[in-house]
Amino acid sequence: MALEIVESCVNCWACVDVCPVQAIYQGSTFFEIDAHKCTECQGDYAHPQCASICPVEGAILLADGQPANPPGSLTGIPPERLAEAMREIQAR
């Protein structure tokens, strides 16, 4: 049972500083979680700390593979609005 960081990580270090078991390390291009060390913060906190401070939607996956912070949950931008804005920018 462990969380996982994926490539949308922006290397901001926030998770490293708050992990209670030092399971997060600097990988070759983004931060990674040592699955053997990760406890999902059980016994320490009510919520996984990395997922509670991460500013990037989708960058951290829960043990079941679902994003801890799904699209729109952190920025407040509805995903369809974001997609529309991206289309408009590309059409310029």
Residues that bind other proteins (CB under 8 A): 10-14, 17-18, 45-47, 49, 52-53, 55-56, 74-77, 81-82, 85, 88-89
Give the nearer residue to other proteins in terms of CB position, either 16 or 63.
16
Give the nearer residue to other proteins in terms of CB position, either 65 or 89.
89
- Minimum distance of other proteins from residue 40's CB (angstroms): 14
- Minimum distance of other proteins from residue 5's CB (angstroms): 14
- Minimum distance of other proteins from residue 32's CB (angstroms): 17
Give me the residues paired with residue 4 across strands. Answer: 61
Reference 1, options 47, 64, 70; nearest CA is 64
